[in-house]
Amino acid sequence: MSIERSERSERPTIVLCPGGPMLVRGEAVVQTQDGATHRTTRPVSAICRCGATSRAPWCDGTHKLLPKERRPD
Ligand code: FES
């Protein structure tokens, strides 16, 4: 997965949440491994890091149901 700055926005900021998603503040384009691109539409977007979401690439909160050893660092 890669994150690129949208051409029409300021530089996004990224925060990694321990055991949870990556928070992207600002406009950005997220590219998944299959090449699909997803533009952020909210001031802060949560991107899944655990792989268990049903709304990829966005976090749907499923990481909270995973055992600690399956959550991202
Ligand atoms: S990090 Fe939240 S569902 Fe994966």
Over residues 17-45, the pLDDT tens digits come to: 999 999 999 999 999 999 999 999 999 99
Q: Apex CA 37: angle with CA 41 and CA 33, to 5°? A: 130
Say how far apart CA 71 and CA 20 lie, in whole Å.
7
45 lines ligand 1 (CB under 6 A): no
Give the pLDDT score at 5: 64
53 lines ligand 1 (CB under 6 A): yes
52 lines ligand 1 (CB under 6 A): yes
DSSP string, the chain: -EEEE-TTSPPPEEEEPTTS-EEEES-EEEE-TTS-EEE--SSEEEE-SSS--SBTTB--SGGGGS-GGGS--
Give the pLDDT score at 2: 75
How many angstroms is it from 4 CA to the middle of ligand 1? 20
How many angstroms is it from 32 CA to the middle of ligand 1? 15
Give the pLDDT score at 11: 86
